[in-house]
Each structure stands twice: as structure tokens, then as C-alpha cells.
Amino acid sequence: MKILVPVKRVVDYNVKVRVKSDGSGIDLANVKMSMNPFDEVAIEEAVRLKEAGIATEVVAVSAGLANSQETLRTALALGADRAILIETDVELQPLAVAKLLKAVCEKESPQLVIPGKQAIDDDSNQTGQMLAALLGWPQATFASKLVVNADKTAAAVTREIDGGLETIEIALPAVMTTDLRLNEPRYATLPNIMKAKKKPLETTTPAALGVDVAPRLKTLKVAEPARRSGGVKVADVAELVEKLKNEAKVI
């Protein structure tokens, strides 16, 4: 069975982002970029399925600027067999990415697509679900455990839900989005980094896939959240409880 893993190039999770002073967005100039952490988990799961003899091929796909190639090379170094880059300089929103992935799925016919549950830049948490909907496939979001049935026609997925876990059985082909507890991604080995350079990486475009990727949401401004207003002293327990309930709204 073939597995498709969408990966996204995002600001490294260690970077403390800065809002541009003109409020037009986040200052991304010269900021360290990495693979979205949830996508690393997704690649890891796919590669483990291949190592276990369940999957036959792992295809990584990314959409965006040409430098998303670096992220695809990382995916290849982690064990993906080949990669597809959908190159565009249009700002891609989840619906557009889902449509692009649908077009790729129609060509590639994977049995399982494993996106990360969300990208740590826009925090949308939509693409996997949207892709499943567009394909009319079942979905299993926020997965913490995956067991593919022996005949590979279905899978049992344990999902992280509010208050605990639930296990669902889904028919394949399907989309499963990863949560962090699904696995612990490996480090790429040096020989695999070297080999990744030689693995096939195919480039296409939204136009070639016949997808309109025009954004549907307009970002009017980006602002920093309000700073901590430190040092307020309260007189007694009653005032503290009142502030926590009504001002901070944390209890």
C-alpha cells in the first residue's frame, strides 16, 4: 500500500516569532525554518509502516515556495521514497492545499494519507479533514495509535479527544492526521541525508494540477497579543478568586 505524507515548511518551533512593525504579518526574513513537527510524526509513522512491511511506498508532498524542497529532502532523509513539490508563490490556505492534495491523490492513489494535525504557523487544523471530505474518504484526526488490518482494507485508529481517547475503525483509503503522541520521530542518519539527495523529487504547479489556489481569507492585520500586566496585588482570597474568574477567566 502506498502512503502519501504532506509536509509543510514552517518557522522552527524554537523560534520566537516577531510581528512586523507595520502589522502586515510575521517577520520571516532569515528565520530558521524546519519541517512542521506534526509532519515529522507523520513521516515517521509512514516509514515505520514501510519498515514493518505494511506500506510499499512513502511519497512526501509539499506545496509552496521553491525552498520547500529542503523540507522534502528532510522527508526523504527520514525515509520517504520520493517527493512531489507543488511550487507556487501564492499564499496557500488549507482549502487550497486540500484541493492540491486531492489532485495528487487522484494521480497517486494512495491507500492512506497522513497529514500532521495542524501546522504550527497558522494553527488552522483543517487540511486533513478537508482533504478527506473532498475525496469522500473517512478520516481519523489527532491519532495517537494506528493499527492497519491484515488485509489492508481498514485501520483502527486511537484518537486524542477531549477527556481521553477513542478508537475508531475506518475503511481505507482514508486520511489520518497525527498528534504528537503517535510516535517519536527519529533523527535522520547521515547516510540517509546523503542518499536523499539522489532520491526523485518531482515538481509540479497548481495550474498543472488544475487547482485554483486563490486565498479565501484576507489577513487585514497581525498584532502582538497584549503583554502581561504584571504585579497587581490583590487584598484577599475573595478578590483573587474574583479576578481569576472574571478578569483572567482561567477558572
Partner 1 sequence: MSEYVAPLRDIQFVLKELAGLDQVAQLPGYEDATVDLVDAVLDEAAKFAEGVLSPLNIPGDREGAKWSANGSANGDGPGVTMPAGFKEAYALFAESGWTALQSDPEWGGQGLPKLVGAAVTEMWKSANHAFSLCPLLTGGAAEALSLCGSDTLKKTFLEKMTSGVWTGTMNLTEPQAGSDLSAIRSRAEPQADGSFRIFGQKIFITYGDHDMAENIVHLVLARTPTAPEGVKGISMFVVPKFLVNADGSLGARNDAWCVSIEHKLGIHASPTAVMAFGDHGGAVGYLVGEENRGLEYMFIMMNAARFGVGLEGVAACERAYQRARDYARDRIQCVETGVRGGPRVPIIRHPDVRRMLMSMRAHAEATRALAYVVGAAHDVATRHPDTATRRRNQAFVDLMIPVVKGWSTEVGIQVASTGIQVHGGMGFIEETGAAQYLRDARISAIYEGTTGIQANDLIGRKMAREGGATLNALIEEMRALDADLGQASGEHFAAIHRRFAAGVEALAEAGRWIVDTYGVDVRAASAGATPFLMLLGIVAGGWQMARAALIAQAKIDAGDTDPFYQDKIVTARFFADHILSQADGLADCITFGAPGVMALDEDRF
Partner 2 sequence: MPILVIAEHDNAVLKPATRNAISAATQIGGDIDVLVAGSACAAVAEAAARIAGVTRVRLVDAAHYADHGAENLAALVVANAPGYSHVLAPATAAGKNFLPRVAALLDVAQISDIVAVVSTDTFVRPIYAGNALATVQSVDPVKVISVRGTAFEAAGEASPVSVEALAAGPDLGLSRLVGRELTQSARPELTAARVIVSGGRALGSSDNFHSVLEPLADALGAAVGASRAAVDAGYAPNDYQVGQTGKIVAPDLYVAVGISGAIQHLAGMKDSKVIVAINKDPEAPIFQVADYGLVGDLFDVAPALAAALR
Report in angstroms how near the CB of residue 128 gets to partner 2 at its nearest.
8
Report in angstroms how near the CB of residue 59 gets to partner 2 at its nearest.
22
Q: Which of 3, 5, 44, 142 binds partner 2 (CB under 8 A)?
A: 142
The residues of the shown chain that bind partner 1, judged by CB under 8 A, are 14, 29-30, 32, 34, 70, 73-74, 77, 187-194, 196-197
> In this structure, are residues 86 and 209 in contact, taking their beta carbons and an 8 Å threshold?
yes
Comparing CA positions, the residue from 134, 225, 179 lying closest to residue 40 is: 179
DSSP of 59-127, one letter per residue?
A: EEEEEESTTHHHHHHHHHHTT-SEEEEEE--SPP-HHHHHHHHHHHHHHH--SEE--BS--TTT----H
- Contacts (CB under 8 A) with partner 2, residues 181-210: none
144 touches partner 2 (CB under 8 A): no
163 touches partner 2 (CB under 8 A): yes
Of 46 and 143, nearer to partner 2 (C-beta) is 143
Distance CA 170, CA 192 (A): 33
Alpha carbon 95 to chain centroid distance? 14
- Rg (the chain; Cα; Å): 20
Q: Which stretch binds partner 2 (CB under 8 A): 66-74, 83-91, 160-168, 194-202?
A: 160-168
Q: Which stretch binds partner 2 (CB under 8 A): 1-9, 51-59, 191-199, 242-250?
A: 242-250
Who contacts 101 (Cβ-Cβ below 8 Å, separation ≥6)?
Answer: 4, 6, 61, 63, 113, 115, 127, 131
65 binds, among partner 1, partner 2, none (CB under 5 to 8 A by kind): none
Q: Are strands 82-87 and 57-64 parallel, antiparallel or unpaired?
A: parallel
Of 93 and 192, nearer to partner 1 (C-beta) is 192
What does the block give as the cell for 172?
481505507
Q: Which of 88, 141, 183, 204 binds partner 2 (CB under 8 A)?
A: 141
Who contacts 206 (Cβ-Cβ below 8 Å, separation ≥6)?
Answer: 63, 86, 88, 90, 96, 100, 212, 213
Report in angstroms how near the CB of residue 73 gets to partner 1 at its nearest.
6
Report in angstroms how near the CB of residue 198 gets to partner 1 at its nearest.
10
Q: Which of 56, 67, 109, 171 binds partner 2 (CB under 8 A)?
A: 171
1 binds, among partner 2, partner 1, none (CB under 5 to 8 A by kind): none
- Contacts (CB under 8 A) with partner 2, residues 83-102: 93-95, 98
